[in-house]
Each structure stands twice: as structure tokens, then as C-alpha cells.
Structure 1
């Protein structure tokens, strides 16, 4: 779920084209001391801030979708990878949610867990490649649990038949024929 950082090339403090050469060499400084100030940023830097804000929103929604669907299988909250923007603010550019993907104690429990894992992996509007991989692994885990459950049910059914016929009757059967 981690995504490469947004290109830092846009974060340069290159002045606008119509700035005199003497001022062009001096780095641009914010007008205030607050990190969120964007009053003196170049158009390229403002564009990068907008991209970072958009990416931050997208990443947080993506990870929250995983958390909301994972339920009790989420090991912890979402963790994020950050990039500092030219305005001094850190923006989330990647993230992950750790989910317990271990099988359950029974095939039935494993099937339920696999379904939850698959739903959590595919919960975001646009699942990543890693999300799709986790969903495929959960689907495989569910298929294996279903095969194990079918095998158990077959053994149970066979055992019941053998128990019914495998023991000798306590009394010899009697056949009464009337004419």
C-alpha cells in the first residue's frame, strides 16, 4: 500500500519568471512563521502542496476503508509514510494496516477469517496491487479450508455408516413367517 513519493522536483523554490535576477538567487521565505503558510510559495510549490493534500486525503481514506472492514482482525491502527511539503507540513503519501492473516482453529473459522481478510483488502475504492495480492491469498486460504471441511464431512459421514453397520447386533434377528 505504500506509494512512491510525489516528485520533489516541484518543491523547488525557483522564483517566478518575471522576478529580477538579483532576487532570483535568494530562496523564497514564507511571510509568517507558521508552517502552513503558502503566501510566498511559487506556483510550482503551490501545485505540489495541492498534490500532496490530495494524496494525503486519498491515502487516509484508503487505509480507513481497510480498518473499517477488517474489524477484529486489524492488529493496530493505520501507519503512514509522510513527505514534508514546501510549506513545512507533512502529508501522508503511503500507508498500511496490519491485519492478522493467520488461519482459524477450525475450517469454519478459517473460512470466516479469509472472507473478512479478502473484504478488508478490497475495501478501498481503488485497491493497490498489494491489496489484490492479499485478497488472492485470502481466497486461496478459504479454498483450502473448504477442501479440509469437505474432507472432514466425508470422513464423518463414512464413520457414521461404518458405526451403523460395523457392530454386531446384540440379539440375533428373528424372522417370523406366517402362512
Structure 2
């Protein structure tokens, strides 16, 4: 489910982090605190923050504006594709992103895609119906589905309708067979009634030998 509309590429400028720190962050920590591992790590972070602050300040207004747009686009793309994957579950593949380097040197996602399995379940229309419901929900999961997302949802709906038709025909065929079996059973009953009548008639004629099961079967 690709997302189009990447931002124009620009010449990159390397900035390790956009975080802002105070001017005193570049100062070396006291010798007493340098012996502590946590204090040393904090000092290194402060130095990186200070360098980032100085280098970010070198970006012009256009580059800062592009950086803000890239960060917003990155959040949007990731949320979009993660929504597909979360709802698609076992039918959704891994997320694939398209990146663009920002003026701070970092990579930002500007496009993405998640593969979705839309193949029907062979020989099982009910399973196909359940699967296509999940696929359609996954395609429309993002807040703003793309044109490709809607196309996948439409395809899943079409396959689901076909499976529903197939399932209805299977059930109708099963009901027809049951009805035919019941009809055949009912047609056999008059013959049984006729044999019972002959037994009663034999009693009326004084033919007591007709009460023998073997004799009855022979007469039938």
C-alpha cells in the first residue's frame, strides 16, 4: 500500500540531534564528577547537545521549515503503515519505508508499503469471507486511506461477495439433498403400510400363519 508524495531532496547537513541545551553544556564537568560513569555520560550528552545547537543554528529558515515537514511526514507515514500491519495481523507483511535525508543528516520516512494477502482460501468460502473482512478492515485502518488502500478494500469486498454466493449455493445444495432423502424415505412408507394391511387382513380370514415374521416377509 504505497504512499506517494515525497518531499524534494536537498543537500544534507549533518546534525547528530535536534535537542537544545544551555550554553554551559559545553563546559567540562568538575574533576570530582568525572570519575562517575553516569556523570561522564551526562557530560558527553551535553557536549553533543551543544554541538547540535550550534550546527542547527547554521540552517536557514527554509531548511528548518523543510525539517519540520519531514518530521511530520515521518510520523504520518509510520502511523499509517503500522495501522495496516496491526489490523492485518497474519495477512499483513513487513513494513517497507522510503526514506529521504533531511537537512540535519537524518533519514525520514516519506513513503511506505505493507503487503496484504488477498488470495481466497481454496475450497472454504466461509474462511475466505472471514479473511476478506480482515483484509478490508486492514486496508481502511489508517485515518486517511490512500487510493491504493481503497482499491485493496474494494478487491477484498468483491472476493467476499463471491465467497458468500458460493457458500449460499453450497448450503442450498445441501438442503436439496436433505429434502430428496426425506422424500425417498416417505415414499417407502406406503409399502410398509400395505404389508401391515395384509397382515390384518390375514387375521380376518383366519390365516394365523400370516403372523409369522418369515411368512410375512415372504408374502411381502
- CA positional deviation for 1:98: 1.1
The structure with the larger Rg is 2
Alignment correspondent of 1:102: 119
Structure 2 partner of 1:72: 90
Q: Distance in 1 between matches of 2:61 and 2:121?
A: 54
Question: Which ranges in structure 1 are unaligned for 5 or more consecutive residues?
Answer: 14-28
Please give the TM-score of this superposition, normalised by the length of structure 2. 0.65
What is aligned with 1:88?
Answer: 105
Q: How many residues align?
A: 157
Deviation at 1:101, TM superposition (A): 1.2
Which deviates the most, 116-125 or 94-103? 94-103
1:127-176 per-position Cα deviation (integer Å, ceiling 9, x unaligned): 00000000000000100000000111111111111122246627713166
Residue 173 of structure 1 pairs with residue 192 of structure 2? yes
State whether structure 2 residue 113 is matched by structure 1 residue 112.
no
| RMSD of aligned Cα (Å) | 2.4
Runs of 4+ aligned structure 1 residues displaced above 4 Å come to: none
Q: Which TM-score applies when normalising by structure 1?
A: 0.79
For residues 122 and 86 of structure 1, what CA distance do their matches in structure 2 show? 33
Cα distance in 2 for residues equivalent to 1:147 and 1:171:
39
Q: Quick check: 1:35–1:88 contact (8 Å CA) kept in 2?
A: no
- Counterpart residue number, 1:60: 78
Partners of 2:110 and 2:4 in 1: how far apart?
A: 6
State the alpha-carbon separation in 1 of the partners of residues 3 and 141 from structure 2.
Answer: 16
Which of the pair is proportionally richer in helix? Answer: 2
Residues 56-82 of structure 1, C-alpha deviation per residue, up to 9 Å, x if partnerless? 00000001101110111113x211000
2:126 equivalent to 1:144: no
Aligned to 2:75, what secondary structure does the other structure show? helix
In the alignment, which of 137, 149, 156 is matched to residue 131 of structure 1? 149
Matched with 1:50 is: 68
Query: Using the alignment, how far apart are the partners of 1:98 and 1:143 within structure 2?
Result: 22
Whole-Å separation in 1 of the counterparts to 2:114 and 2:11: 32
Q: Give the match's secondary structure for 2:112.
A: strand
* More displaced 10-residue stretch of structure 1: 160-169 or 58-67: 160-169
**Which structure 2 segments of 5+ residues have no match?**
19-51, 201-220
